[in-house]
Structure 1
Amino acid sequence: MVDNEPVIPDRSPTAGPLLSVPGAVPAPEGSPDSGVAWHHGDPFAEQRAAERAAVVIDRSHRTVLALEGPERLSWLHTISSQHVADLADGAGAENLSLDLNGRIEDHFVLADLDGTTWIDTENARGAALAGFLRKMVFWAKVEVKDDDALAVLSVLGPEAPSILAAVDAPVPDGAYSALPLPGGGFVRRMPWPTAHSFDLLVPRDDLRRWWDALTAAGARAAGSWAFEALRVGALRPRLGVDTDERTIPHEVHWIGAPDERGAVHLDKGCYRGQETVARVHNLGKPPRHLVLLHLDGSADTLPETGEQVTAGGRAVGRIGTVVHHYELGPIALALVKRSVPADTELAAGPAAASIDADSIPADDRVQAGRAAVDRLRGR
């Protein structure tokens, strides 16, 4: 264990199909992970196992939608930020829906398999995303289904491939690639939060059967705490936690094609919010960027999501996910003004904080639009 080990409150299971698993402790009240296990008795050991062996994590609180119809991909291509028009069978991507000003409304992961495009997203935005998609169908040959027929389990760790093989599940090769599972659903390889990460989208009625099979094969039961700690350590943002109503994709590292692990393709046709994306990419810089903060664990309390990051009493950012990591101690993701140097002494709510310098994105590229302006001005 590490210094500043958090106190684990005693909570009895209250909801969720897998909260009846012996040892499951539900997420705290008000958590975005309400309805699934927060941990199974030892969150730090669960994190270690996710990086050194294999764990299975219940993420069945995510909303899963299905798009059917021959025009599903070409239609989705026109209303979202990622290039998906010619997505091959068994391929996937991360994707965004932006508002007219280029601010992020929705983030989702998708996979196209056997004539259906499967989308999974945060439960808090599931109904809103389904409603938006339905409003945008118009005359396209697409049907949006939100019957939540599939549920998400995540298997993480270097031993994950052997665990999958032991339960007769195929092992996809490339990031976001998907293969069908026996009995329905599919397995998808993810590039995060660890180097060996897989999502199993299984029939909701078979959720407990899959959980029991994976744990019997050697995967350790782990909770959302472990997933969040590793996600924060990997500097991967979470919609609605690490983003706010002003966040644009450049601020949270969501720019890039699927092979770049991004959610916004810079060489595709029109979509809502594209003007802001293009303007920032070609002419400007994002006002903020997502960084990793190391928090002073000796503070009586840690900050909460949404609290200010301050420098010398002046607000310079916003706190996102706060979590105890088994190696790094208390850490957080934060949107901080790009002008704040890495060595600035910060306060994150009630705790002193410092920026992990390695988390600051390097952006010394020559912007095409800015270079053209400079040439016109004779610079």
Structure 2
Amino acid sequence: MMDSPFAGLPAAVVDETGLQHLGSPLAEQRSLAAGRAVVPLGDRTVLAVPGEDRLSWLDSLTSQALAALPPGVSTELLVLDPQGHVEHAASVIDDGQTTWLIVDRADAEGLLSWLRKMRFRLRVDPRDAGDEFAVIGGTAAGLAAVDPAVPAGLPLVWIDPWPDVAPGGHGYAAVDPHPGTERDWAEAIVTREEEQRIADAASRGDLALAGLVAADALRIAAWRPRWSADVDERALPHELDWLRTAVHLSKGCYRGQETVAKVHNLGHPPRRLVALQLDGSSSVLPAHGATVRVGDDAVGAVTSAALHFEEGPIALAIVRRSTPIDATLLVDTDDGPIAATQEVVVPPDAGATANIPRITRLSRRASAQ
């Protein structure tokens, strides 16, 4: 990763993934959610796929229908292995000349290597554009203070489709309203010069910034899956409710499609994503991979955890499908187990959800009022 231009800001905590926070993660969350701040997404990077065959080629390789993707329309894709497990993920926007992929930095090298191997004789030339461009996240209002790159005359702003069910997709979460509807989120691809301008404006107090800790808390509260946090070698898109935005169930063949169709139409995913409301009496958050138990029985693991400015301590976890939906869970930490109440994201009978009643979701804050 390049040296961060945000490292010299007052109270900035920066590591190899980027700007973590500026001393007040909860206040940063509030500002970010309200559109009063933006967040440098140093843990993301950009891949560019130019070439006349780019959209039909990506359509043939991935879970998303991309062959007729109009310029400026935001979507996302998954690359699956032959057994349907998630290998790579990317946010997608096309400007009429190039398809731009925003990816988790840890996934970029592997995805780019695989794409290059799959070119054959087609007119495509995928490349790493991370030296040229950075990614800035925030609400639509927040990003109004940012100048996105316009290499082909179209601003490169990806608008997160979550949690709307995209054409050809399917949503498993049976809640109304879905917590993700409260999250207005977009990501702008900016030049490195614009990234430096943002850092300079922040140093003068002309632009408010938030860190990755704040952005991730808002993501977790929206039940939004992410490759770097929630995907392991066994992950199926069904388990994370990712059919909602990243999988087109009736498009042409692609690697892993048979498993996607079988699990959705004939079976059930072996695991399911749950949201956890953690006991707030302890100040300790569980680590990634922390064991989730029912009594003494290990049933899963935490994938993401955060302290939310309204919800308090929250987490996402993957548990066995058979885990009772009314069970009180325990999450292991270095200071001992923490009690957790689960909210069903993917129901145990996912794949046959037509008769599942809608569930009105109340946040911890609303429940206490």
Q: TM-score range by the shorter chain?
A: 0.7 to 0.9
Query: Which residue does the alignment assign to 2:263?
Result: 280
Shift of 1:187: 2.3
Which whole-Å CA distance do the structure 1 matches of 2:9 and 2:155 have between them? 22
Q: Quick one: which of 33, 39, 57 aligns to 2:39?
A: 57
Question: Quick check: 1:309–1:348 contact (8 Å CA) kept in 2?
Answer: yes
In the superposition, relative to structure 1, how do residues 146 and 326 fare at CA in structure 2: closer, same or farther (>3 Å)?
same
Q: 1:204 Cα deviation (Å)?
A: 2.0
What letter corresponds to residue 17 of structure 1 in structure 2?
P
CA deviations 1:67-124 (Å, max 9, x no partner) are 0110000001001000001101112211100011100011110110030000111111
- Indicate which of 223, 228, 247 corresponds to 1:240: 228
Q: Distance in 1 between matches of 2:242 and 2:328?
A: 27
**Structure 2 CA distance for partners of 1:269 and 1:307, relative to 1, 3 Å:** same
The aligned counterpart of 1:173 is none
Residues 204-283 of structure 1: matches in 2 within 5 Å? Answer: 204-213=192-201, 219-256=207-244, 262-283=245-266
Matched, 1:73 2:49: no
Structure 2 partner of 1:318: 301
> What does residue 86 of structure 2 align with?
104
Mark the CA change 1:268 to 1:126 in structure 2 (over 3 Å): closer, same or farther. same
Q: CA deviation at 1:353?
A: 3.1
1:247–1:127: structure 2 CA closer, same or farther, 3 Å change rule? Answer: same
Note the C-alpha offset of 1:222. Answer: 0.5
Distance in 1 between the 2:193 and 2:151 partners?
A: 14
Whether 1:309 aligns to 2:279 is no
Indicate how the Cα distance of structure 1 residues 189 and 217 shifts in structure 2: closer, same or farther if over 3 A, else same.
farther
**How many residues get paired?**
330
Aligned equivalent of 2:340, options 344, 348, 354: 354
Question: 8 Å contact 1:293–1:353 — kept in the other structure?
Answer: no
Flag the 1:340–1:35 CA change in 2: closer, same or farther, 3 A.
closer
What SS does the corresponding residue of 1:114 show, helix, strand or coil? coil
Distance (Å, rounded) in 1 between the aligned partners of 2:38 and 2:300: 34
Choose the corresponding residue for 2:96, options 104, 108, 114.
114
**Per-residue deviation, 1:336:** 1.3
Matching residue of 1:42: 24
Q: Distance in 2 between matches of 1:131 and 1:281?
A: 30
The AA in structure 1 aligned to 2:68 is D
CA drift of 1:318 comes to: 1.4
- 1:205: how far off? 3.5
What are structure 1's unaligned runs of at least 5 residues? 1-13, 28-33, 171-178, 257-261, 368-379
Cα 1:336/1:94, change in 2 over 3 Å? same
Is 1:293 paired with 2:263?
no
Once the 2 structures are TM-superposed, how far is the Cα of residue 313 of structure 1 from its aligned partner?
1.0
Gaps of 5+ in 2: 163-179, 356-369
Over 3 Å counting, the alpha-carbon distance change for 1:184 and 1:243 in structure 2 is same
Alpha-carbon distance change, 205 to 188 in structure 1, aligned in 2, over 3 angstroms: same
What is the CA–CA distance in structure 2 between the aligned matches of 1:65 and 1:109, rounded to whole Å?
10
Tell me the C-alpha RMSD between the 2 structures: 2.7
Alignment identity in percent? 40
* Deviation of the 1:287 alpha carbon: 1.2
CA distance in 1, matches of 2:150, 2:193: 17
Query: Compared with structure 1, are the counterparts of its residues 84 and 132 closer, same or farther at alpha carbon in structure 2 (3 Å cutoff)?
Result: same
Deviation string, structure 1 residues 155-178 (Cα, Å, up to 9, x no partner)? 237x436x44xx6x58xxxxxxxx
Change in Cα spacing, 1:357 to 1:62, as seen in structure 2 (3 Å) is closer
8 Å CA contact 2:223–2:345 kept in 1: the answer is: yes
Q: Which residue of 1 aligns with 2:159?
A: 189
> Is contact 2:74-2:159 (8 Å) kept?
no
Task: Give the whole-Å Cα distance in 2 for the aligned partners of 1:144 and 1:25.
Answer: 33
In structure 1, the residue corresponding to 2:218 is in which secondary structure? Answer: helix
Q: Which residue of 2 aligns with 1:150?
A: 133
Q: Secondary structure at the match of 2:216?
A: helix
Q: Counterpart amino acid of 1:23?
A: A
Note closer, same or farther for the CA distance 1:82–1:234 as it changes in structure 2 (3 Å cut): same
Q: Indicate the residue corresponding to 1:328 in structure 2.
A: 311
Letter of the 1:138 partner, please give it: F
Determine the structure 2 residue equivalent to 1:376.
none
Offset at residue 212 of structure 1 (A): 4.1
Q: Partner letter of residue 52 of structure 2?
A: P
- 1:186 partner letter: L
Q: How high is the TM-score relative to the length of structure 1?
A: 0.79
Q: Secondary structure at the match of 1:228?
A: helix
Aligned partner of 2:118 in structure 1 is: 136
* Residues 344, 354 of structure 1: 8 Å contact kept: no
